[in-house]
Structure 1
């Protein structure tokens, strides 16, 4: 009787919290219970702007005890994020690691707000990890496609799944267009290079032997004339001295 009564209380409270979330959503976070089990909720945190998590889509879950709201839930995050370990119970003041600090008045919205706050902090806790902002940004960019590997995520958040798929197609199309454009530019450049004379070669290669012969002949004639003029000048100077 007691177990049944407590379970009914948890169910009623969670239904009430869900209705409140629909009317007043938590910024950057959405959550929904499993249709088959209201004690298991799945949430998505969308990385806030001007943070290392910007653009990220992080999927996780809350597992409520039958004694909720008198006992806190277990909190997990599933998507790699650079702040918390994946698929590990997180030690937070709003989780089942700290039943002594739990307040039965706290709702699901309170839990999600606290989770986001802890995610944006850098204070260490059991289940947290230390990574650079660069790593967090890389994981944020990869988070969307990774979530598509999770069947529960696709079923509970179909609109987000469609957005992710559209974004993947858009990126693939941009890469394809950039590759084709680069290929055309490279092809046109090769054609111009093949049709244009080289700066390192004469314009008329057929005349190269003739040009070399006449150039050498003219050089020899100038040398001979130079020696002759020099000899004539010396001879003239000697005669002038003798006379």
Structure 2
């Protein structure tokens, strides 16, 4: 017994160095500082899978006889594939010591776990769920994992990544659901986007300038005024028209018609740009 413990510790250190040197795709793993036989892992949902965008936290509990005996495998984050806080019956877990291979490393174990997660084969500890349910679990996994103290301690970089994503999602939600109030959010390129349900009339000059490549708060060289200035100018124009002499009526009517066409054109262009920006942000989030 005393001879096997150093073997387990030595093997743990080897596997840890191997993972740092040659990381496994979609997987991060760290041993608990207070207990090297308890490892925590995070599986990032692969692209084009029901788990895309999700972060799945779990543990590997190694026996002192490792690598001669396999570990217990647990999933802690709700995911729609495995039950949480339940020993998983896999060929790489302690449910099947007869199929265990001592040459398998921590990376091998987690690669096998991810492979089985992407399948639909039932086993003890697995569960069934629809594609929609798995996608909802993926979205909820971000905030769920941040509640776990071990997760926060062992995976600070992933926590920063999750916090960034949650902040972006919240800003996008505010931009798309707010009423007349303008809401500012940042898209994936770091640009600032301002949204409003009156976007066709009121749009921040600087944001339009960034999106359209104009200068000095203009769109292609055409200056854009805010709604109050526009309404005030319209009232002044109407007053001036009424006070003009008959000789100038035709010129005033022509000016009003041109001004109306000009205003409608600006409103249409502004709304189209706003719609493109929102669509771009949504695509980058997905």
Instruction: String of CA shifts for 1:18-61, please: whole Å, max 9, x gaps.
Output: 10111111111110101111100000000000010111100000
2:47 is the counterpart of 1:65: no
SS of aligned partner of 1:17: helix
Instruction: String of CA shifts for 1:74-111, please: whole Å, max 9, x gaps.
Output: 00000000000001000000000000100111111110
Question: Gaps (5+ residues) in structure 1?
Answer: 190-243
For 2:89, the equivalent position in structure 1 comes to 91
Pick the structure with more helix per residue.
Answer: 1
For 2:40, the equivalent position in structure 1 comes to 42
Distance 1:8 1:104 in 2: 15
Distance 1:185 1:109 in 2: 50
For 2:228, the equivalent position in structure 1 comes to none
Considering only aligned residues, what root-mean-square deviation do their CA atoms show, in Å? 1.8
How do 1:1-243 and structure 2 match up within 5 A?
Answer: 3-180=1-178, 185=197
Distance 1:5 1:107 in 2: 20
Q: Which runs of 4+ in 1 moved over 3 A?
A: 179-186
User: What's the CA shift for 1:139?
Assistant: 0.4
Distance 1:84 1:98 in 2: 18
SS of aligned partner of 1:42: strand
User: What's the CA shift for 1:177?
Assistant: 2.6
Question: Gaps (5+ residues) in structure 2?
Answer: 182-195, 202-286
For 2:205, the equivalent position in structure 1 comes to none
Count of matched residue positions in the alignment of Structure 1 and Structure 2: 187
Distance 1:10 1:134 in 2: 42
Q: Structure 1 residues 37 and 175, CA, compared in 2 at 3 Å: closer, same or farther?
A: same
Structure with higher Rg: it is 1
Distance 1:84 1:41 in 2: 18
SS of aligned partner of 1:4: coil
TM-score (norm 1): 0.74
**In terms of mean alpha carbon deviation, does 169-178 or 118-127 score higher?**
169-178
Distance 1:53 1:127 in 2: 18
**In terms of mean alpha carbon deviation, does 8-17 or 175-184 score higher?**
175-184
For 2:221, the equivalent position in structure 1 comes to none
Instruction: String of CA shifts for 1:1-20, please: whole Å, max 9, x gaps.
Output: xx222111000001001101
For 2:273, the equivalent position in structure 1 comes to none
